[in-house]
């Protein structure tokens, strides 16, 4: 079954980017959030990103307009009923995601696929909140979705081969390279990345070096595009903490314990770029 109509629920940095990628590949996209106003703001951010590409001469203005014409803001998540694939990109909290899937699942046609962009939460557990566990899958885009090549495809215990094939083919159509992961906490990327970020938080907490020197050391010493604290601010410190909590709780080892400094930043509302302050301050 060809996927032509996609709904993205959660119009934050990931949902907006996923909507952009899908619309650029020619799909019709419905963008939903907790309110139409939030979805409209997500669409405006996405329009801004496309506008920058036009300014840089990388995208013709007519193409930008064509991409935007394929994205529609949903009045409510109930508008997702027509979609062939619904991908969820709301906050990294299992209960919020479960409630959303319970609401959306009964609205969809039998052929429709439900996917989660979760960074760490069990796909099998999320699938169990629906009546279509065989049509449920993890489709994990990397941030920023329009730039990053990878999509991790995560098979829950009950995900069918057909669902896996359709989603893998869709990711390729979106211009992405896929890897397939078993349903273990953090999958592949965050199993490796979040301990790195968490260790950088412990190093800062212990006064090993300044944030700038920790980032410069990793950036230049390991040839990473961003240092771990800059990357954590970019991902969102709330998201980093929620992922670290899943790894710690589900894998049960002390080495995954989130640094107190990370918890404090989240408690203070210093969530990184999206709130203007994290380990660094962001202008304006
Ligand atoms: N649409 C299309 N293209 C875009 C874009 C958008 N929305 N935003 C940026 N770009 C393009 C720019 O046009 C630019 O292209 P050129 O190099 O051809 O000019 C390119 O992307 C880089 O953008 P910038 O010049 O603005 O910025 P930069 O060079 O500083 O790169 C970055 C920014 C791509 C984010 C880079 O710093 C980077 O790769 N950082 C690491 C990101 C990373 O590790 N992501 C994974 C996080 S982990 C994750 O996602 C999983 C999880 O669950 C937490
Ligand atoms: P974000 O905070 O930028 O956006 C989350 C969006 O979800 C917000 O717009 C919020 O209003 C909306 N939302 C919250 N509850 C909702 C509900 N019940 N119904 C509809 N919308 C709701 O977060 P993000 O960084 O885009 O992350 C979203 C998901 O993607 C998380 O599961 C995260 O782990 C995952 N992810 C994040 C990154 C990253 O680098 N930030 C990378 C890959 C995957």
Would you list the DSSP string of 95-145? HHHHHHHHHHGGGS-TT-EEEE--SSS-HHHHHTTSS-GGGEEEEEEPSST
pLDDT at residue 190 above 90? yes
Nearest CA to ligand 1 atom 17: 147
- Ligand 1 touching residue 226 (CB < 6 A): yes
Do 54 and 144 reside in the same domain of the chain?
A: yes
Residues 63 and 151 reside in one and the same domain: yes
**57: CA distance to ligand 2 center in Å?**
30
What is the pLDDT, as a whole number, of residue 284? 66
| Same domain (yes/no): 167, 227 | no
Residue 33: both structure tokens together: 């959030």
Closest ligand to the CA of 196: 1
My answer on whether 80 and 166 are in the same domain is yes
| Residues 135, 194 within the same domain | no
Is there a domain that residue 56 lies in? yes
Q: CA 185, CA 194: separation in Å to the nearest integer?
A: 11
End-to-end CA distance of the chain: 47
pLDDT digits (tens, 9 = 90+) for 229-284: 999 999 999 999 999 999 999 999 999 999 999 999 999 999 999 999 999 999 86
pTM summary value: 0.97
pLDDT at 99 over 90: yes
Q: Is the pLDDT of residue 209 over 70?
A: yes
Residue 88 phi/psi, 5-degree rounding, is -100, 130
Residue 21 lies in a domain: yes
Atom of ligand 2 nearest to the CA of 239: 34
Residue 119 a catalytic site member: yes
Structural domain boundaries, residue 10: 5-182
CA-CA distance, 96 to 94, in Å (whole number)? 6
Contacts of 137 (CB under 8 A, 6+ apart): 113, 114, 115, 116, 123, 153, 154, 155, 156, 159, 163, 164, 167
Q: Are 203 and 214 in contact (CB under 8 A)?
A: yes
Q: Where are the alpha helices (DSSP H) in the chain?
A: 13-24, 36-55, 61-69, 94-104, 123-127, 161-173, 189-205, 211-222, 228-235, 237-251, 260-267
Binding pocket residue ranges, ligand 2, CB within 6 Å = 9-15, 33-34, 38, 89-92, 96, 100, 117-119, 141, 143, 235-236, 239, 274
Domain count, the chain: 2
Q: At which residue do the structure tokens 């078993």 appear? A: 182
196: Cβ–Cβ under 8 A, 6 or more apart, which residues? 228
Query: Contact 50/68 with Cβ under 8 angstroms?
Result: yes
Q: Which atom of ligand 1 is nearest to the CA of 235?
A: 54
| 280 within some domain | no
Q: Spell out the residues 6+ positions from residue 179 whose beta carbon is closer than 8 angstroms to its own.
A: 150, 152, 153, 188
- Of 151, 182, 213, the domain-final residue: 182
Say yes or no: 234 and 139 in one domain.
no
- Give the end of a domain, one of 148, 182, 216: 182
- The pLDDT tens digits for 20-44 are 999 999 999 999 999 999 999 999 9
Same domain, 155 and 227: no
**Domain for residue 151, yes or no?**
yes
Which protein residue's CA is at the shortest distance from atom 17 of ligand 2? 34
Per the CB < 8 A criterion, the answer to whether 90 and 77 are in contact is no
Comparing CA positions, the residue from 151, 168, 153, 158 lying closest to residue 130 is 158
CATH at residue 64:
3.40.50.720
212 is catalytic: no
Indicate the top mutation candidate among 144, 196, 198, 219 to test ligand 1's pocket, ranked by most ligand atoms within 8 A of CB. 144
138 vs 36, 66, 145, CA distance in Å? Answer: 25, 29, 15
The pLDDT score that the predictor gives to residue 283 is 87
Pair (47, 89) in one structural domain: yes
pLDDT band at 212 (very low <50, low <70, confident <90, very high): very high
Q: What is the structure's pLDDT at 81?
A: 95
Residue at 282 is within a domain: no
Concerning whether 111 is annotated as a catalytic residue, the answer is no
Computed over every residue of the chain, the mean pLDDT equals 97
Q: Which of 89, 118, 185, 193 to mutate to test the pocket of ligand 2 (most atoms within 8 A of CB)?
A: 89
Confidence of residue 172 (pLDDT cuts 50, 70, 90): very high
* Domain co-membership, 15 together with 51: yes
Contact 50, 78 (CB under 8 A): no
Q: Go through the chain and tell me how many residues it has.
A: 284
């Amino acid at each position: 079954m060809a996927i032509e109509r996609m709904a993205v629920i959660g119009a934050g940095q990931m949902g907006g980017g996923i909507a952009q990628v899908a619309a650029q590949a020619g799909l019709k996209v419905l963008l939903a959030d907790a309110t139409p106003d939030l979805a409209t703001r997500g669409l405006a951010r996405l329009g801004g990103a496309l506008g920058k590409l036009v300014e840089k001469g990388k995208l013709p203005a007519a193409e930008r307009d064509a991409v935007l014409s394929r994205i529609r803001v949903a009045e409510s998540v109930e508008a997702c009923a027509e979609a062939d694939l619904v991908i969820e990109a709301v906050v990294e909290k299992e209960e919020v995601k479960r409630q959303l899937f319970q609401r959306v699942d009964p609205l969809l046609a039998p052929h429709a696929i439900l996917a989660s962009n979760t960074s760490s939460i069990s796909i099998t557990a999320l699938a169990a909140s629906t009546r279509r566990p065989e049509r449920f899958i993890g489709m994990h885009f990397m941030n920023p979705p329009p730039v990053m090549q990878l999509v991790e495809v995560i098979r829950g215990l009950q995900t069918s081969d057909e669902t896996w094939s359709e989603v893998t083919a869709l990711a390729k159509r979106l211009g992405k390279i896929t890897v397939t992961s078993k349903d273990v906490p953090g999958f592949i990327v965050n199993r490796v990345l979040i301990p790195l970020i968490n260790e950088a938080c412990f190093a800062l907490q212990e006064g090993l070096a300044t944030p700038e020197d920790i980032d410069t050391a990793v950036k230049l010493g390991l040839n990473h595009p961003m240092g771990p604290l800059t990357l954590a601010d970019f991902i969102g410190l709330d998201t980093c903490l929620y992922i670290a909590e899943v790894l710690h709780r589900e894998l049960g080892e002390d080495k995954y314990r989130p640094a107190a400094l990370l918890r404090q930043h989240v408690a203070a509302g210093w969530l990184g770029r999206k709130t203007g302050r994290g380990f660094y301050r962001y202008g304006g």
